[in-house]
Amino acid sequence: MPDWIYALILGVVEGLTEFIPVSSTGHLLLAKQALGLPGGFWDTFCVLIQLGAILAVAALYFTRLWAVATGLGSSPAARRFTFSVLAAFLPAAVLGLALHDVIKAVLFESPIVICISLIVGGVILIGIDRFAPAPKQTEAMDLPWKTAFGIGLFQCLAMIPGVSRSGATIVGSMLLGVEKRAAAEFSFFLAIPTMAGAFAVDAWRSRDQIDLDHAWIIAVGFVVSFAVALVVIKAMLAFVSRRGYAPFGWWRILVGAAGLAILSLR
């Protein structure tokens, strides 16, 4: 198949999975393995197209985010929200810079780690959906900075492919007393600096791998992931409000078990 079809497939996978707690990175890397794509450029591609999905958050929440940006000088609420997102972003920023090469060189090439992480994370999601403490915070844009920092520590677990950035932050949020819909929304907001930072670091460190031929392939994945994520974000909030997170947990277990079964036959 031509490269643009691979880019389209991976863009759809990214858009479908970035904001639901099933691990977009895990699904992307398993899809890359299933398609027989090598590492190197395609690992970088899987990181870079995540920015397309992140821009979907900025588009859907533009009015609220613009109000925050223009109100920083006059609104305590805007400053509190900005500080909480930065507090949550800080742990992953520090560890991500320190461990970038190890994560990409070792963990990105381990499908067994991804499958096990999917299964373990699925069990945790099912458990947290049933046994989470009663929520004390119901508004994603009004979290105390200490709660936000705790969520950021949970986000660091997502450096292991298969754990899921959104899954780790949602589980952490709910354990810290954030209502499930608000947990999802804060995960969306936190994704903006986290994934923008990951994009910038990976784009810079992989700049020698990206030429004009690669740029248009990345553009295909970028646009597709943006378009698909626009639909998924709206659908996820409605789904979570009705059904919770257990269905995502069962999906993770199914995909992880299927992956291990396929690996055992090789």
DSSP 192-248: HHHHHHHHHHHHHHTGGG--HHHHHHHHHHHHHHHHHHHHHHHHHHHHHHHH-SHHH
pLDDT in tens, 45-85: 888 888 888 899 999 999 999 999 999 989 999 999 999 99
Cα 26 to Cα 14, 35, 211, distances in angstroms:
10, 14, 26
Burial-class residue 168 by CB neighbours within 10 Å (0-12, 13-18, 19+). buried
When the pLDDT of each residue in the chain is averaged and rounded to a whole number, the result is 88
Burial-class residue 79 by CB neighbours within 10 Å (0-12, 13-18, 19+). middle
- Contact between 220 and 7 under an 8 Å Cβ cutoff? The reply is yes
* Segments of the chain with pLDDT less than 50: none
Domain extents for the chain? Answer: 3-264
